[in-house]
Amino acid sequence: MVFLPFVLLWLALLYLPFAMRSWRAFLALCTVYLLVGIGVRLGVATYSAADVPVAMVFLGNFWLDFVVWALPVPILARGVVLAAKSLGLGGKRLIALNVVGILALPGSWFGMAAYDRWDRRPAPVECTATPVSLMLSGVDGQVPWSAAINLYLGPDLPKDARYLFSAKSQRRICSETLNGTERLTIAALSVELRRAGPQRCTAADVLPWEKALCGKTDDPDLRGLPHDVVFFDPNGIRLGYFGIPKALTDEAYPLAPDERLVMAGTEDNGPVMAVCRKEPYSNGQVLCFVRAEIAEQINMSWEIYARPDEIADRLLRASAFSRKVCASIFDLPGCRSAPGTAP
């Protein structure tokens, strides 16, 4: 019952346009709504909550959170009714149009909810029951339907991205691969090394690196992994979209004045070469990024933050884990060993 007055106030503000019987009154009310909206937004931009009375803060938030997003529907509905009345519509037809206008707001809510449910419909089971077969720079591979994996078909990120956590992207992939019967040609894929989704942690086909990520928050070694690993065709994407270095991080890399080339490795696992630099507001940590070639026209990129005395150890751990992910996708010698190491 405490919220009843606010619900009634909300309904009154939304449906007040239907009490306006003429264009003059209707336009005057719209002007008032506009001035109130401008005043609230100027107040939010000019003053902090501490400078304004609590009641005004509440009313401002009430307007922004509960009124602004819903108000256009009844205003447009009433405008249509008044336009029909001006064109000579009257009697029962006008009453019916008013009823339709009043129901437009809840109708639009139900319509949006129905569309959202339709848009979230799952992809065909016969398609998602098997891994996604793909091809990157002529090399075959496959990935599980994991929310940690994003696929990119070309350089236009908004248009070409396929996010495996998205039902819409899943349906598009199934359509593009004829329900999994053909390979999906991609320009890049990224694997987010975050906590794995619970559905993958318990899946029968869970991969070893996915299983390791199920305990990421509890394992200090795993917390030092890169946020994500990107496998890509250097000529197939815009490197800036992913924050990928402009060249391979080797002896030929064009170092900036504040950067240095760091090498870590042993005779067993080969060298890991990264470019490192100090970052502002990084709490004493150093940013190190890696771009390595794992096959012709396929590069791998990732980055980590580490304290100076931990750089070598973190680079080796991140490299080993990234190559484990790579080997689960592609059957390439470059996934199993660093350059200069016998596979």
pLDDT tens string 245-270: 999 999 999 999 999 999 997 655 57
Contacts of 65 (CB under 8 A, 6+ apart): none
Backbone angles phi, psi at 188, to 5 degrees: -165, 160
Q: Whole-number mean pLDDT of the chain?
A: 87
Residue with tokens 């029962």: 92
pLDDT at 59: 78
| Beta-strand pair 184-186/132-136 | parallel
- Is residue 197's pLDDT more than 80? no
Backbone angle region of 178, left / alpha / beta, with phi > 0 → left and psi within -120 to 50 → alpha: left
Stretch 122-128: mean pLDDT = 92
Tell me the sheet residues that pair with 141: 134, 330
Mean pLDDT for 108-136 is 91
Closest-CA residue to 307 (of 338, 272, 276): 276
Tens digits of residue pLDDT in 35-77: 988 888 888 777 776 777 777 777 788 888 888 888 999 999 9
Most confident of 149-158, 184-193, 194-203, 209-218: 184-193
Contact 287, 276 (CB under 8 A): yes
Q: For residue 101, what is the enclosing H or E element?
A: helix 91-102
What is the C-alpha to C-alpha distance for residues 205 and 282, in angstroms, rounded to an integer? 38
Q: Which of 203-212, 267-276, 292-301 has the lowest mean pLDDT?
A: 267-276
pLDDT at 192 over 50: yes
Sequence-distant contacts of 249-254: CB under 8 A, at least 24 apart: 249/273, 249/274, 249/275, 249/289, 249/290, 249/291, 249/292
d(CA 50, CA 93): 52
Measured at the CA of 203, the angle between CA 193 and CA 321, to 5 degrees, comes to: 30
The pLDDT value recorded for residue 343 is 37
**pTM of the full structure:** 0.73
* Residue 342 confidence (pLDDT) above 50: no
| Helices 23-46 + 72-86 axis angle, to 10 | 160
**pLDDT score, position 116:** 87
Say what percent of the chain tops pLDDT 70. Answer: 92
